[in-house]
Amino acid sequence: MNRTTEIEAALQKAVDSGEVAGAATLVWRDGEARTACIGWRDAEARLPVERDTIFRIASMTKPITSVAALMLVEEGRIALTDSITQHAPEFANMRVLNSPDGLLSETDPAERPITFEDLLTHRSGLTYGDFHRGPIAQAYREALGDDIDSDVPPDDWIRRLAALPLIGQPGSAMYYGCSTDLLGFLIARIEGAPLGAVLRRRVFDPLGMNDTSFLVPREKRDRRSAAYGFDDEGRLTKRVTRSGVFVAERPEDMAYESGGAGLWSTVDDYLKFARLFIGTGEVDGVRLLNRETLAMMVTNQLTDSQCANSRLLGMKPFAVGRGFGLGVSVVMETDKTDLMRRGSPGTVSWPGAFGGWWEADPEKGSVLIFLAHNMVDLPQMAKGIGLGVWGAIETFQTLASVSSP
């Protein structure tokens, strides 16, 4: 049995056990891409996952937005140390909660402004409301709407976010959250165009990423994966809103474009982006970042104290052996028991909440990509529901990391 067949068998087991509706994977090594696609992009319509199936990639959007920001840095349009108030004066005079889950009225003044580097490293003090149990959680929901497709227009979203207190002093620790969404809106302000148009001009068109966008065009929607999740008993089910619209869909007239989580893409499109990290900022003769900028992007930017105090879903993911650069996680010490630390030192990666994951390993010259649609909310995860997709990703990563065909 060759390696691709083993990956297919492992994915089929996950589909058969109801852990995932379907998945598309890609392994790129020595200039050759091998794919394995198993299960259904729409189980009810009996439409299989195929190589060109389009998935909502959630937080795998963040590295793309980060590259666009670093292109502005190279052009001298912004500096990493610049205060964001130069482009978002709404963030002057910020307040910081005394406790992340404390009363919104119990705050201290921010000790310094938020910088672009803070946004790229998630050290801004911004968060995701659903990560908290205190009043800040409800305040985020009421002010900002949905994390991925909000009905709040960008300028209003920026104003409302700036009116909320931070959960930590800027620069004090990594608090994973909506920093990259804010970064995307600031890129749009600086460029004087919607973020989707900026990414199309700067990243997608140059790299030939023709199936990556915030909105799937009507003529491509037959290739789009439906949204799947789990009921309270852990049974796989298609997820819909009250109006009967798939939760993965984006309204066509929505102005909000989430630079943190909103893109759709395919395994082949994301490969074109991920190869930037193998080719020192260049893919097939197209250079987006110079070598020095890419090297800075993939170098850990967190201090020992910031690593120790980092927060993500109540965990400290960067405390040992793994760091965070400018928009990507980076392996510092390999540990085969940790999905995010299995690559060679210098390997970069980042997952997406809908069951997506990728890594680029410059030492091995390889890229691994896994895409699926598994919409699981935090209360379900706390009950152990819907976690099978992460086991499938680990199995794929283990099998794909072996160099045989």
Q: What is the pLDDT along the chain (405 residues), one digit of tens a residue?
A: 587 899 999 999 999 999 999 999 999 998 999 999 999 999 999 999 999 999 999 999 999 999 999 999 999 999 999 999 999 999 999 999 999 889 999 999 999 999 999 999 999 999 999 888 899 999 999 999 988 899 999 999 999 999 999 999 999 999 999 999 999 999 999 999 999 999 999 999 999 999 999 999 999 999 999 989 898 888 999 886 534 444 556 788 899 999 999 999 999 999 999 999 999 999 999 999 999 999 999 999 999 888 777 766 666 666 677 899 999 999 988 776 566 667 889 999 999 999 999 999 999 999 999 999 988 877 788 788 888 999 999 999 999 987 544
Would you call 279 helix, strand, or coil by DSSP? coil
Q: State the Cα–Cα distance between residues 262 and 242, nearest whole angstrom.
A: 21
Joined tokens for residue 113: 């402004």
User: DSSP label at 165?
Assistant: P
- Helix 154-162 vs helix 179-191: crossing angle, to nearest 10: 130
What's residue 404's pLDDT? 47
Dihedral sign from CA coordinates of 107, 305, 289, 284: negative
Tokens 């909320």 found at: 164
Residues 17, 11: contact at Cβ < 8 Å?
no
- How far from 6 is each of 70, 161, 387, 395, 399, CA to CA, in Å? 39, 47, 21, 10, 7
Looking at the DSSP assignment, which residues form a beta bridge with residue 22? 39
- How far from 75 is each of 40, 79, 242, 289, CA to CA, in Å? 44, 9, 46, 10
Looking at the DSSP assignment, which residues form a beta bridge with residue 236? 230
Q: What's at 112, amino acid-wise?
A: R
Q: State the Cα–Cα distance between residues 372 and 41, nearest whole angstrom.
A: 9
What is the DSSP secondary-structure string of 207-218? HT-TT-BSS--G
Instruction: Classify residue 269 by burial, with Cβ atoms within 10 Å: 0-12, 13-18, 19+.
Output: buried
Q: What's at 388, amino acid-wise?
A: G
Looking at the DSSP assignment, which residues form a beta bridge with residue 42? 47
> Between β-strands 322-324 and 107-109, what pairing exists: parallel, antiparallel or unpaired?
unpaired
Residues 158, 272: contact at Cβ < 8 Å?
no
Joined tokens for residue 283: 């893919």
- How far from 150 is each of 144, 173, 251, 261, 303, CA to CA, in Å? 7, 27, 10, 11, 34
Would you call 17 helix, strand, or coil by DSSP? coil
Looking at the DSSP assignment, which residues form a beta bridge with residue 265? 55
- How far from 162 is each of 50, 130, 145, CA to CA, in Å? 42, 18, 15
E-strand stretches of 12-151: 22-29, 32-42, 47-48, 55-56, 95-97, 107-109
CB-side exposure of 372: number of CA atoms within 13 Å? 33
Q: State the Cα–Cα distance between residues 77 and 60, nearest whole angstrom.
A: 25
E-strand stretches of 196-320: 228-230, 236-238, 264-265, 282-283, 286-287
- Phi and psi of 137, rounded to 5°? -65, -50
Q: State the Cα–Cα distance between residues 393 and 59, nearest whole angstrom.
A: 16
Looking at the DSSP assignment, which residues form a beta bridge with residue 370? 25, 357
Q: What's at 92, amino acid-wise?
A: A
